[in-house]
Amino acid sequence: MNKDTGIAINVDSVSKLFRIPHEKHATLKAAALNVFSKKSYTEFSALEDIGFEVRKGEFFGIIGRNGCGKSTLLKIIAGIYLPTSGNVKFDGRISPFLELGVGFNPELTARENIFLGGSILGLTRKELEASFDKIVEFSELAEFIDMKFKNFSSGMQVRLAFALAIYAHAEILLMDEVLAVGDSNFQSKCLKEFNKYKQEGKTVVLVTHDIDIVQRYCDRVMLLRNGRISKIGNPEDVCNAYKHQNMSDEESRINQQEGTGGEKSSADSRLRLSEIKILDSSNYERLVFETGETFVISVQIESEFEQKIDLGGSIISNNGRYIAGFSTKGEQIPVSKGKNYYTYKINSLPLLNGDYYLNIAIFDSRTFAYVDLVEKAREFKVFSNIENKDGLILLKADWERISVDD
């Protein structure tokens, strides 16, 4: 590659095909006995015609669902797998590892592990001696440096591994889900370190499914889906595409799972809840919503005669927390013989990211006894695009500066 093209990694139409044999001859004996039998295998295409470039000094993210091929791609870039076709070029020294702490031996002390792990990453003893103090300082483990690695907590292990990785002096750093471990303090320290890396003109390629990290730190993001590039561009667009992808996948999954849905306990068959649905603003049935969308609960009630009833429901988060309840208590609603329809419309759904379910009941307003109850009538999922809001409920509020006059 020419000097200063500004390109750190060039992936050129890379494909990876895995051959999964139907019977694997794990022994020489079996292989010898089956020399003449036809070998059959299933071909699995993990990556198809992947091509992209990563510029120097870029923080490049790769996202996608499990099994989309993102780890395979990273392994090909690192040289661990050979691509079936296509090739990868890079300019600059690449870190050949994907996970923190590879090559560490639990029986050795932290000090010995720095030298062992470091040389596996391609550093010479001299280089390691030169940066030893900095590694120890960054890991904050100076007092434990002669302790056996196996006695370290997992957080301490990650700290040491990350410190070593950072000081491995590669110009291109490849990282697969590194930030899954370690406390949030250390995570933010690591990400800051990545930023420093970037400023030095070094390149970081991070594979993750944490949208938050991608949006906050990446310059450019690539979304993979079933081994193909689905979208590549700025974090915001790609992450939105990823969320929508997840939403529609989730929708079809829940739909498949649910036959009729709900656990029914009916006390009076003369009055029953026959169908419960969740609709969106255009009356389509959906199970995955975004915060702020119109959310309509539609209930079908069958009654054998005309009467007045009380209807109610509740939204429960999937860890069992009661989020909200609503009912017609005190203002009984009329039903006539046959099918009756009622809807409960939430104009702007105030729920944030999470899994929830809906309980619906007809009850007796004096005794509070259930006439009919459908628990988990519908399970639904909420995705949220809103930054800086945590928890389950969206608060509509603004910050305001108050000036104080003397």
Partner 1 sequence: MNKANSYNYSGLIKELALTDFKLKYKASFFGYLWSLGKPLMLFGVLLVVFTKMFKLGGAIANYPVYLLLGIVLWTYFVESTFSSMSSIVGKGELIRKVYFPRIVLTISASVTALITLFLNLMVVAIFMFFSGVSPSVFSPLMVLLMIEFFILTSGVSLFLAALFVRFRDVGHIWEVCAQALFYATPILYPLSFVPDSLGQVIMLSPIAQIIQDSRYILITTETGTVFSTLSFPVNLIPYSLSFVVFIIGYWIFQKEASRFAEEI
Residue (of 250, 286, 291, 317) closest to 65 by Cα position:
250
* Interface characters, 207-246, with partner 1 (x: CB under 8 A): ----------------------------------------
Structure tokens at 38: 């036809």
Build a one-symbol-per-residue string for 125-144: x at contacts with partner 1 by CB under 8 A, - elsewhere.
x-------------------
Q: What string marks each residue from 253 to 272 as x (binds partner 1 by CB under 8 A) or -?
A: --------------------
User: By C-beta, is 112 or 140 nearer to partner 1?
Assistant: 112
Q: Does 151 bind partner 1 (CB under 8 A)?
A: no
Indicate whether 345 belongs to the interface with partner 1 (CB under 8 A).
Answer: no
Q: For residues 29 and 38, which CB has a smaller minimum distance to partner 1 in the complex?
A: 29
Q: Does 99 bind partner 1 (CB under 8 A)?
A: yes
| CB closer to partner 1 out of 111 and 243 | 111
Q: Whose CA is closest to 10, among 72, 75, 80, 91? A: 91
For residue 297, the 8-state DSSP code is E
Shortest Cβ 155–partner 1 spacing (Å) = 20
One character per residue 100-119, x = contact with partner 1 (rule: CB under 8 A):
--xx-x-xx---x--xx--x
CB 74 within 8 A of CB 98: yes
Which CB sits closer to partner 1, 12 or 140? 12
Least CB distance to partner 1 at residue 61 (A): 20
- For residue 259, the Cα-to-chain-centroid distance in whole angstroms is 27
Measured CA to CA, the distance from residue 371 to residue 338 in angstroms comes to 17
Distance CA 361, CA 165 (A): 57
386 binds partner 1 (CB under 8 A): no
Among 39, 93, 264, 270, binds partner 1 (CB under 8 A): 93
Q: Where are the beta strands (DSSP E) in 239-369?
A: 263-266, 271-279, 288-290, 295-303, 307-317, 322-327, 333-335, 338-346, 354-363
Asked if 147 is part of the footprint of partner 1 (rule: CB under 8 A), the reply reads no
Q: What is the three-class DSSP state of 251?
A: helix
Q: How far is the CB of 137 from partner 1 (least distance, A)?
A: 23
DSSP H or E segment with residue 221 = strand 220-225
Interface residue with partner 1 among 6, 34, 89, 338 (CB under 8 A) is 89
Q: Decide whether 98 or 361 has the Cβ nearer to partner 1.
A: 98
Cα separation, 278 vs 289, whole angstroms: 10
CB 231 within 8 A of CB 237: yes
Give the integer Cα–Cα distance in Å for 37 and 25.
12
The answer to whether 202 touches 175, Cβ cutoff 8 Å, is no
Binding positions for partner 1, 59-88, rule CB under 8 A: 75, 78-82, 87-88
Say if residues 41 and 20 touch (Cβ distance below 8 Å): yes
- Tell whether residue 98 is a contact of partner 1 (CB under 8 A): yes
393 binds partner 1 (CB under 8 A): no
**Minimum Å distance from CB 6 to partner 1?**
17
Helix axes 154-166, 184-199, angle to 10 degrees: 0
State which residue, 120 or 352, has the beta carbon closest to partner 1: 120
For position 1 contacting partner 1 by CB under 8 A, the verdict is yes
Cα–Cα distance for residue pair 180/153, rounded to 1 Å: 15
Whether 9 and 172 have beta carbons less than 8 Å apart is answered as: yes
Q: Which of 90, 380 has the CB closer to partner 1? A: 90
Q: Rule CB under 8 A: which residues touch partner 1?
A: 1, 18, 25-29, 31, 75, 78-82, 87-90, 93-94, 96-99, 102-103, 105, 107-108, 112, 115-116, 119-125
